Every structure is written in C-alpha cells, then in structure tokens.
Structure 1
Amino acid sequence: MPGNGEAVKRRTRGRSKDRSRGRSGEQSSFVLSRGVVVLFAVASGAAVANIYFSQPLLVTMGHDLAMSPGLVGSVVTLTQVGYGLGLFFLVPLGDVADRRRLIAAQLLLLVVALAVVAAAHTAAILLAGMAAVGLLAVVTQTLVAFAASLAPPAERGRVVGLVTSGVVIGILLARTASGLLADLAGWRSVYLASASLTALLALVLHRALPRHTCAGRPPPPYGQLLRSTITLFAREPLLRLRALLGLLIFAAFSTLWSSIALPLSEDPYYLSHSAIGALGLIGVVGALAATMAGRLNDRGLSRRTTGIALALLVVSWVPLSFTRNSLWALVVGVILLDLAVQAVHVTNQTLIYAQHPDAGSRLIGGYMVFYSIGSATGALAATFLYTLIGWGAVCALGAAFSCFGFALWALAGRVGEE
C-alpha cells in the first residue's frame, strides 16, 4: 500500500509539471525579477490611465465639441462599456494565445484609437474613439494575469499587489497629467502623448517578456473559451461573491471620480484642470494599500482585510459629503475611499486567480467585467444626479453602493476562502 501511495504521488507531481509546461510553454525557465515586475506595473498603469484621462477634462471637451452635460457624462460611460466588452471578448485570449504577442498587438491598436480621439472634431467620433480606447485598454488585465502566472504561488499576492499598485498610480497620475497637459497644450495633447508612450511600451514589452504558449494541447474554439468563463463563475461561489463586491466598490469609486470635476470647477472653487487633476495624487495611499493587501492575502487574512476596507469605504462618504464647504474634508474622503477600494480589489484578484491558475485570464477578465459594469453605472448615475439634484445626491449614491458591499461581505461569511 505505501508503494501504491508513493506511485500516485509521483504521477500527480508528473501531471502537475505537465500542466505547468502546457500552460507556460517557454516561460517555464523565465525568472520573474523585481525589474520585470516593475515593468508590468508601469505598463499596466499606463494602459489603464487611458480610461481616466477624460475625467478632469469633461467640461472642456463638452465646450469644445458643443456637447450637452448628459452627453459629456457618456464619454466616461462609453469608455467603460468598451472596457467591459474587451474584458469578456479579448482578455480570455490570454489563456490560449502567446501573451507577449497579444499584449504588443493590443498596445499598437490602442495607439490608433488614441490618435482617433486626439483628432476628433465631432462628438460622434470622440465617443467612438473613447469606446475603442476602453476596448483595448483591457491589456492591463492581460498583464496582471501574466504577472500572476509567472509568480511563485507563495509570492503571488505580493506580485499582484505590486502590479496593481502600478495600476493605482496610473489612475492617479492620469488625472494629474491630463489636467496639467490640458492647461499647457489643450486636451488633445493628452491623447497624443499617451499614444507615443503606448507605442514605446509595446516595443519594450515585446523584447522583455517571455513567450507564453500552450504546448501539449490544442487551444479550445473561441466560442468554447468564452462559454467556459461563464461556466466557471456559475460553478464557483467565491468568484460570484468577489465579482459582486468588485461591481459595488467600483460603482462607488466611479461615483466620486466621474463627477468630482463638476463641483470643483464651480462656485466657490473654480479650480483649473491642473488643480482638479492634482487631487488624484492625494489618493496615492491607495497604491500602498494595494501592496499591503497583497501581503496580507499571502498570510491568509483576506476576509479580515476585505471587511476593514469595506467599512472604511462606507465611512469615506461622510467627509466627502462636506466637499462644497471644505477641501480638507474632500482630501480625507479621497484617501479613505482610494485605500479601501484598492485593498478590496487586490484581495479579489488574488483569491480569484488562485481558484484556477490555468484559467487566470478568463477569471480576471470575467471579474473585471463586473468592475466595468459598476464603473459605468456609477459614472452615468453620478453625473445625472449631480445635474438633477446636486452633490448631496451623488454622495448618497456612493454611500449606498458602499453599504451594499459591506452588507454582502457580512452576509456571505467565509464563502470559498478556507
């Protein structure tokens, strides 16, 4: 009997090694150095920044292209819709295609979409270009899944946290850089500069990253690949829980950041693009939360981290509600909100990827579809409520999303986390 048990263990180890080679191909001998992790973080941040460049520029874009306030809000919404479509239809390709080539191709197509936005002279062209930018910016999630697949399991939370910190910094710098460039050279210069940086990153990543092939098994048909994403979420309670939490936290996140330029550009502040964009730098602690949350997940503290972060998210709307009376209250609220959202986000991604590493791109892509739905919902509802009622209604909406998230976490217990 001991002999039979040992034989089973050897066969199991052998199959595990075969699966690892099958998933990774030539990447199996690649060593994930800190420099490569930093490159992943920079590229992820630069790609996702394209989704947020428009937020401090909405008023100027609207004036330049004669867009109504409602149509201006759809700039953010259509970008998020494009992002959601890309998450479902493009990101799963990372599980069957050479991720290095896929990343380079998406970045080059993103360059074209950014050029279209920069050259837009009608609202229709602008909106189409922004939807294409959102569609192709999902390369960020392919990069996150690639980094997670290259990381040793014991360090996966740390690596995902570091790459996600790059995403956070990219989001924050997007607002600051777009506001600054718009004041210096107009809003179109923002997208021209991003197109140049994206083209450079495509070249660097293609040279620096390992090939990712699926040797040993034929890739499934594209339709089957997409259906498998739905099947995985239907089968796994943890995936559904974390996806719903992602939807709610990013609905709250987008409620703030898609509408904050509106009260800050009016009485009593009348802030410039640069000043509104610089507000994003205050949330840099969110990047610290991303790295800390990753380490806490490696220590098995995912549920506690999630609960504390969601409680902070609820509390953040108290100071945010005083934005019209105090910029200091806004600062405190931004810090709490960004820290909470990023801590939950990293925890979600780490737990989801660990469920099925061989389907990492599909799982993270599927999870981010919910992120995109939440972001689009928050953006559209916040701009509508601000126009109709005012800032108080926006804060009530964000607080409602946050409370729903905390209640869901409390009622769900330890679903799938042990």
Structure 2
Amino acid sequence: MATLLGYSVGLFLLVPLADLLENRKLIVRMLGCAAVSAIAAAFAPSAALLLVILFILGAACSAIHILVPVAASMVPPEQRGRVIGDVMGGLMIGIVLSRPLASIITDAFGWRAFYGVSAFALAILTLTLAARLPKRQPVASSNYPTLIASLWHLLRTEPVLRRRALTASLTMAAFSLFWTAVALRLMQSPFEFDQSEIALFALVGAAGAAATPLVGRAGDLGWTRSGTIASHLLMVGAFGLTGWAGSSHVTTPLLSLLLMGVGAVLLDIGVVGDHNLGRRAINLLRPEALGRLNGLFVGLFFLGGAIGAAAAGIAWTAGGWIAVCLIGVACGIAALLVDWIGGIT
C-alpha cells in the first residue's frame, strides 16, 4: 500500500514536471532515487522506516510515465500508437511478471533479497537511459505551483482526456477486481491452489499484455473507436466466461481452470487495449502538456484500480465469485456506455 500511495503521489506531483524540466535528466534522477530507495528498503531496520522508504520508492518509480511522452515526441503522429504500444507493452508485461518473480525470489532468499535485485535492475536501467535516452526540453513559461494548478483546468477543458480517463479507470477497476479475487477463488474447490500455484496462474496474464504493441498499431491505422469498443466487449465476455468457469456448472476441474485462464487472457487484452488506445489519444492533444496529461490519465487509471481492489473484498464477502464477476461485467458495460454516449475517439 505504501508503494502504491507513493506511486500515485508521483503521478500527480512529479510526472507533471516533464512539462517544466528537461526530461532525460528528470527521468535519470528519479530512477537513481528509486535505486537508492530499493537498497535502503533491503536494509531497513524497522517496519516504520520501511514504509517511508517504500513510499519514496513508489513515487520515484512513476518516472516510467515520463518515458511515454518522450517516446511519443520522437515520432510523427501517425506512428505514435506503435511507439506507445511498445513502451506500454514492456510496462504491462513487467506488471504481470512482477508478482510471480517477487514470490520466487522471496521464497528462495527472503523479502530483503527482492529489493536487492530491484536495486540492481534499477541501477542498470538508470545508467542505460542516461547514456541512450535523447534530451527533451519542454517549452515551459510557468512555475511549479502554476503547473500543478493547471491539472484541474486540463481535466475540465479536454473532453477526450475525461472520456479516456473514465474508461481507463473502469477497465483498471475490473482488472484489479479480477486479480484480487481470483486468488481467493483458486484457493477453493475444485482448484485448491497454494500460493506458488496461484503465482503460476498469474503468468497467463503475460499473454494478454503481449498484445499491447498490436493494439497501438491498430490505433495508427484509424481503428481507435472500433478497437476501444472491442476491448470493452472482451472485458464483458471475459467476466461472463470466468463467472461460468468458476461456478458449479462446470464439473471438470481441468476444463474450469482452462476457461478461467482464457478469460484472464481476454480480460488483460481488453484492459491493455483500452489503456493503450487511450494513451495514444491523449498524447495527440497538447504537445506542451504531455507530462500533465499522462500524469492525470495514469493517476485516474490507478485510482480506478484501487477502487476495484477494494470492491473485490466487499463483493467476495457479499456474494462470492459470482458477485465479483457481475461487478466486472458492470464495469465493461459502463465503459461501453461511455463509448456510445461520449462518441469515444
């Protein structure tokens, strides 16, 4: 929780600095801070200090979302979907693989070793980007307080940002809802998985994340609206399939598990499809405000994820797996309504 809270603060308060400061220097400094924080976490002497360090680590890791406008600014508009898709593909695969990787390292060497490995990876990444990332100097005439105050103005005046952030929040809520509750379902009959088996099941999400670059290319071909609608339909279908697979109507455990896996992949494709097409759309809006646009979009995206994670516990307690899937279907239908009423582009 501390890491995600720091990440959220970074999205709203640090990522907008991309519109004020030279981007390569900003990214390198933030990632350097993340590497130092990870080392400190590995040697934290108390739980209270660990929470503070993890908050700082989360905030510094929001640097990844400054890389998106940097990449988008390097290519013409007709190629931005492909480039953003490549960057977001790496991000989504990293998110999907992080949980099982953390479980494996922690199980073998302890939780401190995980932060040691993270620090090493962050240090390598920092040095690589310092040497290879091109400079991007934003055209900015304001100061930091004015920059942060302008976030509300951007949200109020940019309808594309509002619509895309709303559907992104709904899809991330569905994503968090599923991956929070599915562990509880897999522990029950007929699966009765332990933690390591649940971690292996989570790897199926990588197949969905691998579709991210393809979605970006679809946006470049002019299929943004149709691709967005297809993504939301996939979400609805995925929750319908996993709801059926997790019910008592499927009596064969292997078939039930296969259907759950297919549903998980379809859900992840739907989520990354909406997110990637949304990122492409907002990166075509205002070149001078790319940092703030991306910070707002992703901040609201993760806010939806937090709501979905909280809803998972409530739904599971109230109605079990079926209640979870019904809420997921409702998120997908709500996103489709935004497509229809708002004329999503």
TM-score (norm 1): 0.75
CA shift, 1:264, in A, is 2.9
Moved more, 374-383 or 157-166: 374-383
Structure 1 residue identity aligned to 2:159:
P
Structure 1 residue identity aligned to 2:37:
A
Matched, 1:239 2:161: yes
CA shift, 1:250, in A, is 0.5
Query: In structure 2, the residue corresponding to 1:284 is in which secondary structure?
Result: helix
Structure 1 residue identity aligned to 2:198:
I
CA shift, 1:97, in A, is 0.9
CA shift, 1:120, in A, is 5.4
Runs of 4+ in 1 over 6 A off after TM superposition: none
- Distance change >3 Å, CA 115–CA 398, structure 1 → 2: farther
Moved more, 104-113 or 282-291: 282-291
Question: Contact 2:171 / 2:335 at 8 angstroms: preserved in 1?
Answer: yes
Moved more, 334-343 or 149-158: 149-158
Q: Which of 53, 56, 59 lines up with 1:132 in the alignment?
A: 56
CA shift, 1:336, in A, is 0.6
Structure 2 residue identity aligned to 1:397:
I
Query: In structure 2, the residue corresponding to 1:355 is in which secondary structure?
Result: coil
Query: In structure 2, the residue corresponding to 1:303 is in which secondary structure?
Result: helix
CA shift, 1:218, in A, is 5.6
Aligned counterparts of 1:97 and 1:163: Cα–Cα separation in 2: 21
Q: Which of 143, 149, 155 lines up with 2:73 in the alignment?
A: 149
CA shift, 1:272, in A, is 4.1
Matched, 1:174 2:104: no
Percent of pairs with identical residues: 36
Structure 1 residue identity aligned to 2:293:
L
Matched, 1:104 2:38: no
Show the counterpart of 1:413: 343
CA shift, 1:378, in A, is 1.0
How many corresponding residue pairs? 337
Aligned counterparts of 2:4 and 2:325: Cα–Cα separation in 1: 21
Aligned counterparts of 1:263 and 1:331: Cα–Cα separation in 2: 13
CA radius of gyration, larger in = 1
CA shift, 1:179, in A, is 2.4
Question: Contact 2:232 / 2:335 at 8 angstroms: preserved in 1?
Answer: yes
Q: Which of 224, 235, 241 lines up with 1:313 in the alignment?
A: 235
CA shift, 1:98, in A, is 1.5
Q: Which of 202, 205, 211 lines up with 2:135 in the alignment?
A: 211
Show the counterpart of 1:59: none
CA shift, 1:287, in A, is 3.2
Aligned counterparts of 1:330 and 1:178: Cα–Cα separation in 2: 23
Q: Which of 186, 200, 203 lines up with 1:281 in the alignment?
A: 203
- Distance change >3 Å, CA 194–CA 268, structure 1 → 2: farther
CA shift, 1:261, in A, is 2.7
Question: Contact 1:245 / 1:405 at 8 angstroms: preserved in 2?
Answer: yes
Specify every segment of 5 or more residues in structure 2 that has no aligned partner in the other structure, as ranges: 248-252
TM-score (norm 2): 0.89
- Distance change >3 Å, CA 191–CA 310, structure 1 → 2: same
Aligned counterparts of 1:301 and 1:366: Cα–Cα separation in 2: 24
Matched, 1:195 2:119: yes
Q: Which of 222, 225, 249 lines up with 1:303 in the alignment?
A: 225
Specify every segment of 5 or more residues in structure 1 that has no aligned partner in the other structure, as ranges: 1-74
Query: In structure 2, the residue corresponding to 1:277 is in which secondary structure?
Result: helix
Question: Contact 1:175 / 1:278 at 8 angstroms: preserved in 2?
Answer: no
Show the counterpart of 1:261: 183
Show the counterpart of 1:352: 282
Moved more, 170-179 or 111-120: 111-120
Q: Which of 262, 269, 272 lines up with 1:342 in the alignment?
A: 272
CA shift, 1:210, in A, is 1.8
- Distance change >3 Å, CA 195–CA 273, structure 1 → 2: farther
After superposition, what is the alpha-carbon deviation per residue over 1:140-169, rounded to whole angstroms, capped at 9, x for unaligned?
A: 111111111112222111100111111121
Question: Contact 1:91 / 1:142 at 8 angstroms: preserved in 2?
Answer: yes
Question: Contact 1:182 / 1:273 at 8 angstroms: preserved in 2?
Answer: no
Aligned counterparts of 1:130 and 1:378: Cα–Cα separation in 2: 22
